[in-house]
Amino acid sequence: MWKDALLVGLGAALGATARYAVFLEAPLTGIEVHVLTTLVNALSCFAMGFFAPGKFWGMGVLGGFSTLSAVSLAAAQSSPAGAAATLVSSFAACMAAWFAGDALRGRRA
């Protein structure tokens, strides 16, 4: 149990550091931040579907690379309609990315 927790924690630290580096290299404001956040989250979901990784790479690295908290913050700072649009578009993009990755994994196998 502790070994798994350590693996996930170390992977999450690596993933969060990678996400932080992406946002440092792309100092954006406003809607651009939301778009980049959605792209990062969709990339993580695509990789989860394509690779079907284990605890370190999946729950850890990709879980740390993606960020639901930024989506939640964007929604909280929006109007009710903007919040709904943010949540629905983020969820739809991430689900579509996961399904695409999963379908490509199926073709690869």
Q: Which residue has the tokens 């070994």?
A: 3
44 near 92, Cβ under 8 Å?
A: no
pTM of the model: 0.89
Looking at residue 29, what is its pLDDT?
79
Per-residue pLDDT of the chain (109 residues; tens, 9 = 90+): 999 999 999 999 999 999 999 988 887 777 888 899 999 999 999 999 999 999 999 999 999 999 999 899 989 999 999 999 999 999 999 999 999 999 999 887 6
Per-residue pLDDT, 12: 97
Domain count, the chain: 1
Range of the domain at 45: 2-108
What does the pLDDT read at residue 72?
92
Give the model's pLDDT for residue 107: 86
User: Which ranges constitute the DSSP H helices of the chain?
Assistant: 2-25, 31-51, 63-65, 68-76, 80-108
